[in-house]
Structures are given as structure tokens and as C-alpha cells.
């Protein structure tokens, strides 16, 4: 990987923040965009902009071709069987909300839902609210102190009543990677819908939905160099065909009569309204960009940086790192606290040096309450980051520690 050349693709990396070179370490929240993605969106509006479906003119056909080409690129990226299984949404959050609504009609009283204690609110609140609406039991699978769920514990809480298991592929706080294939094996033949939140996995890991054998898998374009406003809801064809739509309007119907309607085939049945056209073009460019670097290369490079980061962080007295430090089982983000310093103070101090990290509850309040903290600082790495940037971060963190030690005593 030629990092120097890669960095040139990202115009924002030339920016100065507070007089310093931008160091972007908030990639788990959203990644920066290469010029290829920016151009794809701009070119879409410059040369192809027109609505699709029933646009019986050349421009409309070109626009439609881009849309379906984009879906094919996504299909290949996650190894889905066909493009009918790819539904575009505004992001992971919308995908999970949609799935919870889609499955609502498939559930009956007494059914149970399983999520885990490390889920992002996006994979927590929709299920909690579904359980409330339908008066169902929500089982929360407790992770151990490293953040891992035990497959034995999972087996123990599954019952004949379990109808949904929705788990994250990789944690946005602990970084740990869940053994989704093993989990799927446990759930197999049990008539349980298995949903995988791949928001933090899709930017880093090779994803194969046929190998995982999940029923649904979701992720966001903006966390993998794509634009905001587009995400993916993958669903198994036979399920999508069976399940009723939950959003109504143009594009998703077959025939509309005064008092009745029929639905379009999948995936259109689940894509009401004007599709995400320019966004689809941007997402395609993003995935093509990642493919051109190679997802395995991205994983390997960011793993090395994360290993270095953890080693350097651990040299600082008073640092607590959350989650397993086993580099082979985590994506490239690290959440930590520095004894006696609020994460917001750490983030503000770093910002003065042009370094962006995230501080707060990271949309995982149930997990943070189990860690007995209200807030953590999180540094998250992507393939355009460098060892020198980590050195600067560590140096600044040491200054922060010094500064606050002098403040306190
Ligand atoms: C694991 C996980 N799930 C879901 C989400 C929600 O993603 P979005 O805000 O793009 O919908 C995030 C965002 O940080 C996440 O990290």
C-alpha cells in the first residue's frame, strides 16, 4: 500500500485545523472521502441527473444503469447471491429500524428477541421498542469483561420462543469482532431471524453473507469512504419475498386501486419514493476505491497501526483501555480513559493540535453503564492514517496528562 499516494486522494487531509495539519482519528464515526467518490457524486449531477423507473429517455436509462451497477458492486462486495437482495436505505440505523418493522408482522405474542450488551443504540433501541409494542421479551446477552459474548451463554438463552437474534459484527466501542459464523451455526434450523450489524465491519473486513448465512446484514456507506445518506440492507431473497413492505408510496407498488394495492417485486417493494441516486453513484465509487486498495490490505495495515497504538497507549500510566487487546480479534478502534481527565477535555485538547477523536457515550449507554463510566475517548484508524500521526497523538496525550497533573496538584 502506497500511503503517500493514497493520502493525495483525500483533499481534506490537506486542511489545517487550528493552525495544524488535520489528523483524522474519528473514522468509526465517519470516514473521509477520496476524490474519486467526490467526483462520482459531482459527475452524477453534472451528466446523468434524472429520475429512474419509467424514464423512457436516454438520460433516465443512463441514470438507471448507474443505480443497478452500484447495486451489483455492493452485491459483489458482500457476496450476496443476487442484486434483488440489496436494498438501499439512508444508513445502518434506518436499515435496522426497517427490519424491526418488517419483522413485526412475522412475530406473535410470547416470541423473544436476543441482542447483546455491547450493541450500538441503532441495534438496541429498535428491538427494545419492538418488544414494547408487541409485549415481547427482550433478552440481553451479557458480554464478558473483554467484550466477547460466550457462545455457551447464547445457547443457554435461546429457547423455542426466540425469533430474532440481532448482533453487531464488530463493536464500535470495544472493537471486538463477534464470531458471526459460529453464531449463525448455533441458530441454524431454529426458525430464528439472524441480523448482523456490520456498520464497523464492512469498512475493515471481507464480508461474505453466504458464508455467514445471516438473514439480514446492514451497514452504512459513509463509514467506508462513501457519502452520507446511503446504507445497505441485505436480506435473503426468500425472506424479502415473503415479508410485507413497511413504507408505502411511489416505486414500490404493483397496481394501486381505490381501496387496495399490490406490491412491486423485491427489492423495489422496500424502496418507496425516489431512490438514492447520486448517493448510489458515490457508494459504488467508494467500494471500487476500497477494492482497488484491497480490503485484506486495509485490514492488515490498520491492524498493524492499532497494535502499535495499543502498545504506546499502555506505556502511559493511568490509561485504561476497554475491550480485548488481542489484535487478531478487533477492528482498528480503541476506546480509553485517562485517569482524572474527562474524555471531553482530552478531545478538546487534541483538537487544538488538529487531532480529531470522539468523546462521549459512543451511542452505547447500556454498555458504558456496565463499564461503570459515562464517557470514553475513542480513537479510530483508517488506511490513510500513519504511524507518525499516532506518534503525534501519543505525544499530545502525554502533554494532556502532564497538564492535568499540574492542574490537580
Ligand atoms: C456498530 C454500529 N451500528 C450502527 C451504527 C449507526 O450507523 P449510522 O449512524 O450510519 O446509521 C454505528 C455508527 O457509529 C455503529 O458503529
pLDDT tens, 379-389?
999 999 999 99
Q: Which atom of ligand 1 is nearest to the CA of 197?
A: 3
Which residues are near ligand 1 (CB < 6 Å)?
29, 91-93, 120, 122-123, 168, 172, 197, 199-200, 220
Most ligand 1 atoms within 8 A of CB, residue of 94, 95, 120 to mutate: 120
Q: Residue 100's CB: how many other CB atoms inside 10 A?
A: 23
- Collapsing DSSP states into helix, strand and coil, what is residue 17? strand
- Burial zone of 276 (CB within 10 Å; 0-12 exposed, 13-18 middle, 19+ buried): buried
Best residue among 97, 172, 216 to mutate for probing ligand 1's pocket (most ligand atoms within 8 Å of CB) is 172
Residue ranges of domains in the chain, CATH in brackets = 3-25+294-408 (3.90.1150.10), 37-291 (3.40.640.10)
Q: Whose CA is nearest to atom 15 of ligand 1?
A: 199
Contact 293, 146 (CB under 8 A): no
Reported pTM: 0.97
User: What is the pLDDT, as a whole number, of residue 408?
Assistant: 56
CB 211 within 8 A of CB 185: no
Q: Which pLDDT score, from 0 to 100, does residue 1 have?
A: 87
Q: Please give the angle made by the CA atoms of 134, 152 and 104, to the nearest 5 degrees.
A: 15
User: Which region holds residue 294: left if phi is over 0, alpha if psi is between -120 and 50, else beta?
Assistant: left
Region 248-269 average pLDDT? 97
Q: What is the pLDDT of residue 109?
A: 87
**Per the structure block, which three cell numbers stand in for 303?**
491492524
Is 63 exposed, middle or buried (CB count within 10 Å of its CB: 0-12, 13-18, 19+)?
buried
> Does pLDDT of 409 surpass 70?
no
The verdict on whether omega for the bond into residue 267 sits within 30 degrees of 0, i.e. cis, is yes
The whole-number pLDDT of residue 405 equals: 85
Nearest to 139 by CA among 118, 172, 120, 165: 165
As a whole-number percent, the residues of the chain with pLDDT over 70 amount to 99
pLDDT at position 217: 98
pLDDT above 90 (res 401):
yes
HSE-up of residue 171 (Cα within 13 Å, Cβ side):
28
CA dist., res. 22 & res. 191, Å (int)? 49
For the segment 131-147, what is each residue's pLDDT rounded down to a tens digit? 999 999 999 999 998 99
Burial letters 348-386, b for 16+ CB under 10 A, else e: ebbeebbbbbbbebbbbebbbeebeeebbbbbbbbbbbe
User: Could you tell me if 102 and 246 are in contact, meaning their C-beta atoms sit under 8 angstroms apart?
Assistant: yes
Mean pLDDT for 328-345 is 95
Residues in a beta bridge with 320: 337
**Gap from CA of 199 to ligand 1 centroid (Å):** 5
Nearest to 227 by CA among 281, 295, 190, 187: 281
In this predicted structure, the answer to whether residue 302 has a pLDDT above a threshold of 80 is yes
DSSP symbols for 346-382: HHHHHHHTTEE-EEE-TT-HHHHHHTT-S-EEEEE--
State in Å: Cα 406 to ligand 1 middle.
Answer: 38
Task: Locate the ligand 1 atom nearest the alpha carbon of residue 223 and give its number.
Answer: 10
Cβ atoms of 360 and 342 within 8 Å: the answer is: no
Residue pair 119/370 in contact by the 8 Å Cβ criterion: no
Task: State phi, psi for 54 to the nearest 5 degrees.
Answer: 65, 15
Q: Give φ, ψ of 74 to 5 degrees.
A: -65, -45
Q: Is 363 a catalytic residue?
A: yes
Taking the C-alpha atoms of residue 41 and residue 329, their distance in angstroms, rounded to an integer, is 35
Q: Rounded to whole angstroms, how far apart are CA atoms 361 and 225?
A: 24
Amino acid at each position: 500500500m502506497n500511503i503517500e499516494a493514497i493520502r493525495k486522494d483525500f483533499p481534506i487531509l490537506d486542511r489545517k485545523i487550528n493552525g495544524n495539519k488535520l489528523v483524522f482519528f474519528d473514522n468509526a464515526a465517519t470516514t473521509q472521502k477520496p476524490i474519486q467518490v467526490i467526483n462520482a457524486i459531482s459527475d452524477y449531477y453534472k451528466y446523468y441527473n434524472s429520475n429512474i423507473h419509467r424514464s423512457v429517455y436516454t438520460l433516465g436509462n443512463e441514470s438507471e444503469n448507474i443505480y443497478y451497477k452500484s447495486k451489483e458492486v455492493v452485491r459483489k462486495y458482500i457476496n450476496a447471491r443476487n442484486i434483488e437482495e440489496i436494498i438501499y436505505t439512508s444508513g445502518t440505523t434506518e436499515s435496522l429500524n426497517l427490519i424491526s418493522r418488517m419483522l413485526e408482522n412475522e412475530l406473535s405474542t410470547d416470541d423473544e428477541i436476543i441482542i447483546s450488551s455491547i450493541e450500538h443504540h441503532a441495534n438496541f433501541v429498535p428491538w427494545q421498542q419492538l418488544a414494547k409494542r408487541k409485549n415481547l421479551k427482550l433478552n440481553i446477552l451479557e458480554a464478558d469483561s473483554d467484550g466477547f459474548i460466550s457462545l455457551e451463554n447464547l445457547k443457554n438463552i435461546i429457547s423455542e420462543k426466540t425469533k430474532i437474534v440481532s448482533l453487531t459484527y464488530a463493536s464500535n466501542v470495544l472493537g471486538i469482532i463477534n464470531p458471526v459464523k459460529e453464531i449463525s451455526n448455533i441458530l441454524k434450523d431454529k426458525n430464528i431471524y439472524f441480523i448482523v450489524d456490520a456498520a464497523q465491519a464492512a469498512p475493515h473486513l471481507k464480508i461474505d453473507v453466504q458464508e455467514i448465512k445471516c438473514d439480514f446484514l446492514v451497514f452504512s456507506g459513509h463509514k467506508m469512504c462513501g457519502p452520507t445518506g446511503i446504507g445497505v440492507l441485505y436480506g435473503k431473497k426468500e425472506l424479502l419475498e415473503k415479508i410485507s413492505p413497511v413504507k408505502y408510496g411511489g416505486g414500490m407498488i404493483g397496481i394501486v386501486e381505490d381501496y387496495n394495492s399490490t406490491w412491486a417485486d423485491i427489492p423495489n417493494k422496500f424502496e418507496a419514493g425516489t431512490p438514492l441516486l447520486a448517493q448510489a453513484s458515490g457508494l459504488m465509487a467508494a467500494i471500487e476505491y476500497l477494492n482497488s486498495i484491497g480490503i485484506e490490505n486495509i485490514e492488515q495495515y490498520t491492524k498493524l497501526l492499532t497494535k502499535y497504538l495499543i502498545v504506546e497507549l499502555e506505556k502511559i500510566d493511568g490509561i485504561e483501555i476497554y475491550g480485548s487487546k488481542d489484535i487478531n480479534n478487533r477492528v482498528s478502534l480503541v476506546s480509553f480513559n485517562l485517569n482524572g481527565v474527562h474524555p471531553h477535555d482530552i478531545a478538546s485538547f487534541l483538537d487544538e493540535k488538529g487531532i480529531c477523536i470522539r468523546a462521549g457515550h459512543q451511542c452505547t449507554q447500556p454498555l458504558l453503564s456496565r463499564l461503570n463510566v459515562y464517557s470514553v475517548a475513542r480513537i479510530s484508524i483508517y488506511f490513510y492514517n500513519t504511524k507518525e500521526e499516532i506518534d503525534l497523538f501519543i505525544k499530545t496525550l502525554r502533554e494532556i496528562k502532564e497538564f492535568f497533573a499540574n492542574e490537580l496538584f
